[in-house]
Amino acid sequence: MGSSVKLTQAEKGVDVKIQSIDGDELRSKLLELGLTSGSTLRILYTAPFGDPIAVDVEGFVLSLRKSEADLIRVIA
C-alpha cells in the first residue's frame, strides 16, 4: 500500500484507488459518477498544457480539470 496523494500526482497509466474526495458541490457529483472510495482510477492522457486530464473510472472515460482532480486523494 502506497501513501495517499492527489490524483494529479498519480502516475499516468497506473491503477490507483480513491481514498477520499474533498470539496462540496463537486463531491456529490463525483460520487454519483461512481467515484466512490475504493473504486479504481487510471490517468489515461492529458490535454495540451496538462489540463484537463482524462481518467478511466471503472470502465468509462471521464475528463476533469486539474483543480477538480486535486480534490481527489488516491492510494497508489
The yes or no reply on residue 20 touching another protein (CB under 8 A) is no
The yes or no reply on residue 51 touching another protein (CB under 8 A) is yes
The yes or no reply on residue 74 touching another protein (CB under 8 A) is no
CA–CA dist 53, 74 (Å, integer): 15
The yes or no reply on residue 72 touching another protein (CB under 8 A) is no
The yes or no reply on residue 62 touching another protein (CB under 8 A) is yes
- Using the rule CB under 8 A, which residue among 3, 17, 59, 72 binds another protein? 59
